[in-house]
Amino acid sequence: MIPSLPVEAGPGLKGRGFALLIAATAIGLCGFAAVLPLVPLWAIRGGAGEFGAGSTTAAFMLTTVLTQLAMPRLLERGGYRWAFPVGSLVMGLPAPLFALTTDLGVLIAISAVRGVGFGMVSVAGTALAARLVPPGQVGRATGYYGLAVGLPQVLILPGGVALALNIGFTAVFWITGLCSLVGAVLAVGIWFADGGRNRPLLRAARSIGTAPTERVSLAAPLILMLLTASSAGAIVTFVAVPLEGTPWLVGAALAAYAAMVVIGRWSAGLLYDRHRRTLLLLPGMIAAVCGTALVTAGLWGDGTPVLVLVGAGLFGLGFGAVQNEAVTLMLNRAGPTGQGRASAVWNIGYDAGAGAGAMAVGLLIQLWGYGPAFAVTVIALAAVLPLARARVSTP
């Protein structure tokens, strides 16, 4: 096995390779963010119920997670060089096919194919964010990566819905597909940037063995990611459906959610590098519980819909903090030899949670209605608060 080079060998945050990763992520993942709330809405317009609409997100996340399970081994066998651009192509090329039909089976199939690409991009991108910088920059690197993922969503999540409702779904499906293609081209540039100084980091093999203690150490942040991502998947997938008559509110709620995710994630990354410990895990979880409770109140019966706006923003703030605290905690636990594994576990928690949340809440909505269905997510989040408290002082 080729010995790994020290992480310090790379140019770090100021390198052009890291800048290209951020640009590829910001542009390429527009193809993910815009389509996520659109496909369920497109399916419902074709006659599917909430459970069927949620199944499109669930299929996307299922193949995402299955792909992510294989990614650590692929990355350590040369995948750091090609996984991001290839995944971006797989995610982007099928997107325009959504416009051809509203048949639920076809929509689920297309979503499943795109999930494979997203699984590749998500794990490779998170691992590269840590791999391309020295250890002292990992918190900020994951924070910048969070900005690249989240900032476009401030416009894309609400803007995609608004654009589709005004100029048509077909145009949006084509635009988002093209964004993923641009992301693939930019990701290829990492290999050529910085005079080739990133190349050893993109091809060096590292040990992929995992000790039992390491698996245990990743369990708590994984559970927190699963539960918070489940709530996020439910909010993003279904908030547009009951509030479709007030598109301004839908757009504002999704924008507030996306903007606050960015703020929460960046703040957590900055504090992690400064103090070398997780400080916002418990506060983030508390904010997520309170935000989901407000969304629930706004959707319950004849509740006040404006509470959805406030709740989505508060939940986004907490979710962003939990995201970054969880990934830095996992990377710290796994060490330099386990960056691919830590990235895969974190992304599995995110994407499996989002898919399960969309499907489970969709089923509960059909059985009980929106308010009671979202109340279940509040209870689940509150139940795992002790896990966040137990890890708040972990260096």
For residue 73, the domain's CATH number is: 1.20.1250.20
Domain-embedded: residue 328: yes
Residue 318 inside a domain? The answer is yes
d(CA 80, CA 289): 36
| 321 HSE (CA, 13 A, CB side) | 22
Residue 375 domain-assigned (yes or no): yes
Distance CA 125, CA 130 (A): 9
Query: How big is the CA angle at 29 (ends 23 and 35), to the nearest 5 degrees?
Result: 150
pLDDT of residue 366: 87
Check if the beta carbon of residue 362 is closer than 8 Å to that of residue 50.
Answer: yes
Exposed / middle / buried, residue 216 (Cβ in 10 Å: 0-12, 13-18, 19+): exposed
Nearest partner of 202 among 132, 126, 125, judged by Cα: 132
- Are 176 and 157 contacting, i.e. CB atoms less than 8 angstroms apart? no
Written as six digits, the tokens of 3 are 């010995």
Q: H/E/C letters for each residue in 32-46?
A: HHCHHHHHHHHHHHC
Predicted pLDDT of residue 225? 94
User: What is the per-residue pLDDT for 213?
Assistant: 41
Q: Are 163 and 81 in contact (CB under 8 A)?
A: no
Alpha helices (H) in the chain, listed in sequence order: 16-28, 30-33, 35-45, 50-74, 80-92, 104-131, 138-167, 169-188, 199-203, 212-217, 219-238, 247-275, 281-299, 306-334, 339-368, 370-383, 385-391
List the one residue out of 249, 221, 225 whose CA is nearest residue 349: 225
pLDDT tens string for the chain (395 positions)?
333 334 445 688 888 999 999 999 999 988 777 787 788 889 988 888 877 887 887 788 789 889 999 998 888 788 888 999 999 999 999 999 999 998 999 999 999 999 999 999 989 998 898 888 887 788 888 888 888 887 777 777 667 777 888 888 898 899 889 999 999 999 999 988 888 888 887 775 544 444 444 444 788 899 999 999 999 989 988 887 888 778 888 888 988 998 899 899 889 988 888 887 888 999 999 999 999 999 999 998 777 888 999 999 999 999 999 999 999 888 888 776 777 888 889 988 887 888 788 878 988 998 999 999 999 999 999 999 999 885 544 43
In a domain, 217, yes or no: yes
| Torsion region of 168: left, alpha or beta (phi above 0 gives left; psi -120 to 50 gives alpha) | left
Q: Are 314 and 291 in contact (CB under 8 A)?
A: yes
Q: Which of 246, 60, 96 is CA-nearest to residue 181?
A: 96
Q: What is the DSSP letter of 79?
A: I
Helices 281-299 and 370-383 cross at an angle (nearest 10°) of: 160
Has residue 1 been placed in a domain?
Answer: no
Looking at residue 160, its amino acid is: G
pTM confidence score: 0.76
Residue 240 lies in a domain: yes
Structural domain contains residue 2: no
Is-contact 255 157, C-beta < 8 A?
yes
Alpha carbon distance 223, 83 (integer Å): 26
pLDDT at 162: 78
Parent domain of 283 = 7-391
Do the domain assignments include residue 219? yes
Contacts of range 305-308, beta carbons closer than 8 Å, 24 or more positions apart: 305/243, 305/246, 305/249, 306/249, 308/239, 308/243, 308/249, 308/253
State the pLDDT at residue 210. Answer: 43
Structural domains counted in the chain: 1
